[in-house]
Structure 1
Amino acid sequence: MDVNFRLLPINGEIVIVEDEPLLRELTREILSEVGAECVAFSTADDALIHMLTSDTRCALIIADHGLPGQVQGAELAELARGRWPETPVIITSGWTDTFIGLPPAAHFLAKPWSLEELVMAVANLLQPGVPPTETSVDTPRQ
């Protein structure tokens, strides 16, 4: 898969929480391809444990709202905001943002999203005012 954008270096990793395996892997692959270090989890419970025990800074959380386990996406956003207020959160769902009741600092990305919408949402949060640099679609994979 070729994405024709690159992000500037990101300080930390992007934590992806998505219970659908194919979408979780696609999200991780897309963001890795544009230059982000990513870790991916199927539950917010596992992601929260990772964030609490990891030495790596969490630069961004992208979480589906409807997840198995004890913690839903919007709840993860609220917990993260309390512990790491500077960490941006994107909640993604097929439901509407008003139905979910997003916390004030969370951003919403409606499913189904396009590759470009995902990359632009990440770029806008992590590098506001700096558009992703375009790369050739024919760039060989490393």
Structure 2
Amino acid sequence: MEWAVVVEDDPAIRKLIVDILNEIGLLTLDFDTADDALTYLRCMPDGCLLVITDQALRGQLQGAEFIRMVKEKWPATASILTSGSVLEASIVPYSTTYLAKPWSKDDLVRAVANLLQPDRPFGK
């Protein structure tokens, strides 16, 4: 369960997220739709450590709905929701970190660190 799922329909942003996560030591699986990611995850009994998804995606599932479905089956999964649009707080699932685009590498690393290592402040 030491891997992350990245769902982003923009290939350049998806590659950037994957590269950053790999750089900080996480294994990744990436998808361009939440539908494909959920289909894959349903075959994995332990789920994954972290999901990072954009809100606006191609396919039937949007990011927030995907996160809710993942957390329903694997409640301990950490989650980050990104969006280039302003999202109402009610859209962001409980215990999910929201990152507005454009975000920086430090923003993403800080968000991941805060979720996966909350007892070790970023930069310490």
TM-score, with normalisation over the residues of structure 2?
A: 0.91
1:3-42 equivalences under 5 Å are 11-42=1-32
Quote the residue 1:138 is aligned against: none
Q: Which has the higher contact order (CA 8 A, sep 6+)?
A: 1
CA apart distance, 1:49: 1.0
Contact 1:28 1:38 in 2 (8 A): yes
In structure 2, stretches of 5+ residues that fail to align are none
Quote the residue 1:117 is aligned against: 107
Q: How many residues align?
A: 124
Cα distance, 1:21–1:124 mapped onto 2, change above 3 Å: same
Partners of 2:68 and 2:47 in 1: CA distance = 18
1:106 to 87, 96, 101: 96
Partners of 1:115 and 1:98 in 2: CA distance = 24
1:45-64 equivalences under 5 Å are 45-54=35-44, 57-64=47-54
Quote the residue 1:95 is aligned against: 85
Q: Which stretch shows the higher mean deviation, 63-72 or 89-98?
A: 89-98
What's the C-alpha RMSD, in Å, of the aligned pairs?
1.9
TM-score, with normalisation over the residues of structure 1?
A: 0.80
Query: Bigger radius of gyration, 1 or 2?
Result: 1
Alpha-carbon deviations, 1:105-134, whole Å to 9, x = none? 222011000000001100100111214578
